[in-house]
Amino acid sequence: MTNKMEIKKGDTVLIIKGKDKGKSGKVIKVFPKENRLIIDGLNLIKKIKRPQKTDEKGEIMSVPGKIQRANVMLICPNCKKPTKIGHLIENGKKYRKCKKCGAKII
């Protein structure tokens, strides 16, 4: 599998493409099969909230929409820079590694 998702929930990522380019935020959900993810408060899309009761009006809300994995870069928690993800094996376990500073990213 080459398109394995390397970004995990809780990671901080930088958007490098699209209308929110240059902004960074925390990943709150990942969709490995679609190669997409959702970042807290970014890539907002309008959604209509259906009324709960018949006498209520539908409400338009802004919610963070899915974004392509290819449009974001991981921000290394150690050097705080956007980086590509490398790998390292330690005690038989595979970890992600920052390609900039070499720090292990858990």
The first and second tokens of residue 74, run together, are 């991981």
Cβ proximity to Zn ion, 88 vs 101, nearer residue: 101
Cβ-contact 12, 24 below 8 angstroms: yes
Nearer to Zn ion by Cβ, of 38 and 74: the residue is 74
- Reduced to 3 states (helix: H, G, I; strand: E, B; else coil), residue 70 is helix
For Zn ion, the closer of residues 30 and 76 by Cβ is 76
By the 8 A CB rule, do 44 and 67 touch?
Answer: no
Could you say which residues in the range 66-85 bind Zn ion, by CB under 5 A? Answer: 76, 78-79
Applying CB under 5 A, the residues found at the interface with Zn ion are 76, 78-79, 98, 100-101, 103
